[in-house]
């Protein structure tokens, strides 16, 4: 093509563009004149009406500049101008901007709060550790289950035979009594000599435990203190290095202070002192002798560090090869055993699975809340778009590209979402800290560090960007369908039906999502109510207790028996104490200790039982109790007799079993007088136990589980040294103080722990159910409020748009009550559609809740009806308010405006 032809074509295009712009200028002037006339009819003076009309359009020159800017593309200067224009547009509507930001901040803040807990508990690597991504944890896999602990000899073999791990270390947690006078119970960790080296942790002061410290049992009583404990107990005094501290009454030399931030290798459970694994006989006195040489027992956690360029798959194959070697070499203890590797440290598999299921459920619920918030604000944006439709039509008429207007709307949505995201981020950490510290939750979650990091920022940013895009899509799509000529000539929306349909769909979505959240909340609340109000089979009101560890305090068996007997004698003589007893555990924790039982003569060899403990025999819960235990905790004795003072160490071995065990072990028979065998794992064999009584079933192990198989043995026949002193009193709160004073009078240096009433204890037992109920209940309330506001906005706008029609009806004699009922029916139809669409989602959600929350069952119809009724009332109020305004409208005023 020649230069002349190109110039001719360009001239024609410029002439055509000028003609179009002149035509659009004329249309725009006509539109401003009509807009001014409307303002004059509304009571404004002519001059003021023309000024207001021109101001509303932003001035001809400003519009032309924006048109020219739209043709230059998205340069940095134009983007900055878009942001300024978006901020100006939002500032002109402060009520809308405030409501939208607060609504979105609630949704984004709640999502960030839940994700920050997930990040701190499940995703964040251990602080203070070098290259935590290279660490792997070992799991012991057997035919019956997966365990997170091993025997110490197995650890040595894995450490010495690996080809793919640069180091293999191990640790085991223990509770220690620290100091003299009134001792303090602290959390200690026994570690192998290469523990700190494998983690890449160096001492802030002194040195860490080294392989030379982990030699002969009891030969190196040294300790490393955590930074927090050093500052708490010694005020940060550097002179403690080389000094001596007492742990369980035994002197340890402090050799170092761990770096600040390093709290051990278990998420949420901060270690305060580390001692060598070789100190196990002194630091874990309740363990049987020879634990360091027993391959069958599982009591240590093993972890390792991958060599450079070694994959997880290759390392696991290497460790499985070592496990096969051990299986061949030690068939009695290692038959059927293998190992699996899990990347990272921090949480035991069972705890991780439980917390992960709960937090995933909460993240799903809070995502629904964010969806409701987005649909609510999207509805407000549609209303706002209808007000700004004439502005958009004028811009299009002046030549602005639709893409330019879409970009402007996207900028407004992004700016709105950004402000909401910033506010939500600030709200999130306050909510997360409050929830993990105050609300019922697990001990692990209460001690996690909920702080800002890159993952939380990335999550919030992604959620904010997605929210901004979602908010801007609907108004942007509206721009693509606007006919500027029609709007400017007629002054009325050209797509009101489409807009109305979009708003109605958004409201239906809000109602449906609210139904899902409310029914999910009803499942959890119904479960919690059932667990709290059903009879667990033991007393829940008048019982208090506190625990002591006599072995760690250095008590001999004779001294310990004497101490407990004197404590019970004093408590029985105390005013206000109805009964007092001692047990190793209290309900529902009394099934935590597991033993294998057999019919006499069916016991396997001791070595085989140690190696295949979880595969042989009938496994039942065991609790050692003193006389009067069943009466004190309110468990009925249905047959036989209770323990007495005569059931001592020299008396025949006796046992009381619960009804579930009686039916399982001797179905259809009377168990009184029968014998059962509980073989010992070490030492001389145990004598058969004679059944002297049958106790009623109660929920043992957890209130959310069915009654477990359980048996009780006399505490005086199987003295353990770890005891819980239990008191029945009409005032259990004061009974805790009575126990403390009684113990302090006998031994002021003996630490007392876990002092609480039975009600407090049960509240901790149901932490998961209570936490989920609190969170989802709060989400459900917010969802109902947002759904009500969304429906109110749609119905109110519908009334405004149809005011002329409604006024004509009123002028023709229609009753105001009929007008109100007409409006209410319109809103309730939307709600009914939301209810119908929400039912399938609620069915899926309730299945997820029942799979994630222990003990949950189908929601009680009463709870479901109550939740739906609350939503229905809110929806009715949201429909009634606009309906009342429509019924009270003056038809003369409405028609005069038209």
Q: pLDDT per residue over 577-604, tens digit each?
A: 999 999 999 988 887 788 899 999 888 8
Least confident piece of the model among 83-92, 430-439, 458-467, 698-707? 430-439
Higher pLDDT, 502 or 220: 220
Token output for 281: 């006989």
d(CA 660, CA 624): 18
Q: What is the pLDDT of residues 299-310, one digit of tens each?
A: 899 999 999 999
The pLDDT, as a whole number, for residue 16 is 46
Q: Is the pLDDT of residue 640 over 80?
A: yes
Burial class (CB in 10 A: 0-12, 13-18, 19+), 583: buried
DSSP 329-387: H-HHHHTT-EEEEEES-BS-HHHHHHHHHHHHHHHHHHHHHHHHHHHHHHHHHHHHHHH
Q: Is the pLDDT of residue 71 over 50?
A: no
Beta strands in 758-802 (DSSP E): none
The pLDDT, as a whole number, for residue 70 is 47
Q: Is the pLDDT of residue 179 over 50?
A: yes
Q: Is the pLDDT of residue 96 over 80?
A: no
Q: Is the pLDDT of residue 866 over 50?
A: yes
The pLDDT, as a whole number, for residue 895 is 54
Place of tokens 């039912």: 839
Least confident piece of the model among 351-355, 831-835, 841-845? 351-355
Place of tokens 């630091």: 283
Q: Would you call 465 helix, strand, or coil by DSSP?
A: helix
pTM of the predicted structure, to 2 decimals: 0.75
Identify whether 588 is preceded by a cis peptide bond (ω within 30 of 0).
yes
Residue 495's pLDDT band (boundaries 50, 70, 90)?
A: very low
The pLDDT, as a whole number, for residue 786 is 79
DSSP 479-524: HTT--HHHHHHH-S-S-HHHHHHHHHHHHHHHHHHHHHHHHHHHHH
**Cβ partners under 8 Å of residue 234, min gap 6:** 225, 240
Q: Is the pLDDT of residue 500 over 90?
A: no
d(CA 635, CA 587): 10
Q: What is the pLDDT of residues 32-48, one digit of tens each?
A: 666 666 666 666 776 76
For 727, the enclosing helix (H) or strand (E) is: strand 722-729
Query: Which of 617, 645, 646, 613 lies closest to 711 in space, CA to CA?
Result: 617
Residue 475's pLDDT band (boundaries 50, 70, 90)?
A: low
Q: Is the pLDDT of residue 821 over 50?
A: yes
Q: Is the pLDDT of residue 855 over 80?
A: no
Residue 566's pLDDT band (boundaries 50, 70, 90)?
A: very high
Q: Kindly report the average pLDDT of the chain as a whole number.
A: 81
Q: Is the pLDDT of residue 443 over 70?
A: no
Under 8 Å between Cβ of 161 and 315: no
The pLDDT, as a whole number, for residue 6 is 46
Burial class (CB in 10 A: 0-12, 13-18, 19+), 403: middle
β-sheet bridge partners, residue 178: 184, 247
SS (H, E, C) 806-837: HHHHHHCCCCHHHHHHHHHHHHHHHHHHHHHH
SS (H, E, C) 591-654: HCCEEEEECCCCCCCHHHHHHCHHHCCEEEEEEEECCCHHHHHCCCEEEECCCCCCCCCCCCCE
Q: Is the pLDDT of residue 60 over 70?
A: no
Under 8 Å between Cβ of 178 and 185: yes
Q: Is the pLDDT of residue 406 over 90?
A: no
Q: Is the pLDDT of residue 210 over 60?
A: yes
Higher pLDDT, 153 or 372: 153
Place of tokens 């289950």: 145
Residue 401's pLDDT band (boundaries 50, 70, 90)?
A: low
Query: Which of 115, 633, 111, 173 lies closest to 443 in space, CA to CA?
Result: 173
Place of tokens 């811009």: 395
d(CA 364, CA 841): 12
The pLDDT, as a whole number, for residue 229 is 94
Under 8 Å between Cβ of 367 and 164: no
Count of residues for the chain? 898
Under 8 Å between Cβ of 619 and 596: yes
Dihedral sign computed on CA atoms, order 74, 75, 76, 82: negative
The pLDDT, as a whole number, for residue 499 is 47
d(CA 828, CA 621): 56
**Cβ partners under 8 Å of residue 337, min gap 6:** 140, 141, 142, 323, 326, 327
The pLDDT, as a whole number, for residue 842 is 81
For 139, the enclosing helix (H) or strand (E) is: strand 135-141
The pLDDT, as a whole number, for residue 3 is 44
d(CA 665, CA 660): 9
Under 8 Å between Cβ of 190 and 284: yes
d(CA 450, CA 447): 9
The pLDDT, as a whole number, for residue 497 is 45
Please give the share of the chain, as a percent, with pLDDT higher than 90: 29
Q: Is the pLDDT of residue 254 over 80?
A: yes
Q: Would you call 842 helix, strand, or coil by DSSP?
A: helix
d(CA 502, CA 513): 17
Q: Is the pLDDT of residue 204 over 90?
A: yes
Average pLDDT over residues 651-673: 93
The pLDDT, as a whole number, for residue 13 is 47
Token output for 323: 């496990």
Under 8 Å between Cβ of 14 and 474: no
């Amino acid at each position: 093509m020649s230069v002349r032809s190109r110039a001719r074509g360009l001239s024609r295009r410029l002439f055509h563009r000028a003609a179009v712009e002149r035509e659009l200028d004329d249309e725009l002037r006509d539109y401003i004149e009509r807009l001014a006339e409307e303002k004059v009819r509304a009571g404004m003076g002519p001059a003021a009406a023309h000024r207001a009309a021109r101001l509303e359009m932003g001035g001809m020159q400003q519009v032309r500049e924006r048109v020219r800017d739209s043709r230059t593309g998205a340069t940095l200067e134009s983007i900055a101008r878009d942001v300024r224009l978006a901020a100006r547009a939002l500032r002109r509507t402060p009520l809308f901007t405030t409501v939208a930001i607060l609504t979105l901040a609630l949704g984004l803040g709640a999502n960030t709060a839940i994700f920050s807990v997930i990040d701190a508990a499940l995703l964040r690597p251990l602080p203070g550790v070098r290259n935590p991504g290279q660490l792997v944890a070992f799991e012991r896999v057997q035919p019956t289950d997966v365990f997170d602990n091993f025997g110490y000899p197995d650890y040595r073999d894995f450490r010495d035979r690996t080809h793919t791990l640069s180091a293999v270390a191990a640790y085991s947690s223990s509770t220690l009594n620290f100091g003299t006078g009134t001792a303090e119970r602290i959390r200690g960790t026994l570690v192998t000599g290469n523990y700190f080296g494998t983690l890449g942790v160096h001492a802030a002061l002194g040195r860490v435990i080294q392989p030379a410290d982990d030699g002969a049992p009891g030969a190196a009583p040294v300790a490393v203190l955590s930074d927090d404990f050093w500052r708490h107990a010694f005020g940060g005094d550097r002179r403690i290095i080389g000094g001596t501290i007492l742990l369980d009454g035994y002197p340890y030399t402090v050799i170092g202070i761990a770096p600040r931030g390093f709290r051990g290798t278990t998420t949420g459970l901060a270690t305060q002192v580390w001692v060598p694994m070789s100190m196990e006989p002194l630091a874990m006195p309740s363990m049987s002798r020879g634990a360091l040489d027993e391959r069958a027992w599982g009591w240590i956690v093993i972890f390792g560090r991958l060599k450079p360029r070694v994959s997880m798959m290759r390392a696991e194959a290497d460790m499985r090869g070592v496990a096969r070697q051990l299986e061949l070499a030690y068939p009695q203890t290692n038959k059927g055993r293998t190992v699996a590797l899990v990347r990272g440290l921090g949480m035991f598999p069972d705890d991780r699975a439980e917390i992960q299921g709960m937090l995933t459920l909460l993240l799903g619920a809070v995502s629904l809340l964010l969806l409701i918030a987005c649909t609510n604000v999207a509805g407000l944006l549609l209303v706002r778009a209808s007000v700004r439709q004439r502005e958009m039509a004028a811009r299009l008429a002046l030549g602005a590209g639709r893409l330019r207007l879409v970009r402007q709307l996207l900028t407004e949505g992004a700016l709105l979402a950004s402000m909401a995201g910033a506010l939500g981020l600030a709200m999130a950490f306050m909510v997360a800290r409050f929830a993990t510290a105050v609300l019922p939750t697990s001990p692990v979650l209460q001690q996690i560090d909920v702080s800002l990091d890159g993952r939380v920022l990335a999550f919030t940013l992604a959620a904010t960007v997605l929210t901004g895009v979602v908010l801007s899509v609907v108004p942007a799509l509206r721009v693509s369908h606007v006919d500027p000529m029609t709007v400017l000539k007629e002054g009325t929306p050209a797509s009101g039906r489409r807009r109305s349909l979009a708003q109605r769909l958004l409201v239906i979505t809000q109602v449906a999502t609210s139904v899902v959240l409310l029914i999910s909340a009803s499942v959890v609340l119904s479960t919690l109510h059932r667990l709290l109000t059903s009879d667990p089979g033991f007393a829940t009101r008048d019982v208090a207790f506190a625990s002591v560890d006599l072995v760690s305090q250095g008590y001999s068996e004779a001294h310990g028996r004497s101490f407990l007997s004197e404590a019970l004698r004093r408590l029985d003589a105390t005013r206000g104490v109805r009964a007092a007893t001692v047990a190793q555990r209290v309900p529902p924790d009394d099934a935590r200790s597991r033993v294998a039982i057999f019919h006499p003569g069916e016991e396997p060899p001791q070595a085989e039982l140690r190696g295949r403990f979880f595969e042989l025999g009938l496994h039942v819960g065991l609790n050692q109790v003193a006389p009067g235990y069943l009466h004190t905790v309110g468990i009925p004795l249905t047959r036989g007799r209770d323990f007495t003072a005569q059931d001592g160490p020299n008396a025949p071995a006796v046992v009381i079993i619960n009804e579930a065990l009686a039916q399982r072990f001797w179905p259809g028979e009377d168990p009184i007088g029968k014998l059962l065998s509980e073989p010992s794992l070490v030492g001389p064999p145990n004598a058969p136990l004679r059944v002297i009584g049958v106790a009623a079933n109660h929920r043992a192990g957890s209130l959310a589980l069915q009654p477990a198989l359980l048996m009780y043995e006399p505490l005086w026949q199987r003295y353990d040294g770890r005891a819980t002193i239990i008191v029945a009193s009409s005032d259990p709160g004061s009974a805790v103080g009575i126990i403390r004073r009684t113990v302090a009078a006998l031994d002021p240096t003996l630490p007392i722990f876990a002092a609480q009433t039975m009600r407090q204890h049960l509240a901790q037992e149901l932490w998961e159910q209570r936490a989920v109920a609190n969170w989802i209940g709060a989400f459900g309330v917010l969802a109902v409020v947002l759904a009500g506001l969304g429906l109110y906005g749609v119905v109110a706008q519908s009334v405004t748009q149809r005011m002329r029609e409604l006024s004509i009806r009123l002028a023709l004699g229609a009753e105001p009550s009929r007008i109100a009922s007409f409006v209410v029916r319109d809103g309730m139809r939307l709600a009914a559609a939301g209810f119908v669409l929400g039912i399938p989602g609620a069915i899926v959600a309730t299945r997820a809740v029942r799979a994630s929350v222990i003990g949950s069952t189908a929601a009680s119809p009463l709870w479901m009806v109550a939740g739906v009724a609350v939503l229905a009332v809110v929806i009715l109020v949201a429909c009634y308010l606009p309906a009342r305004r429509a019924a009270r409208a003056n038809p003369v005023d409405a028609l005069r405006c038209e």
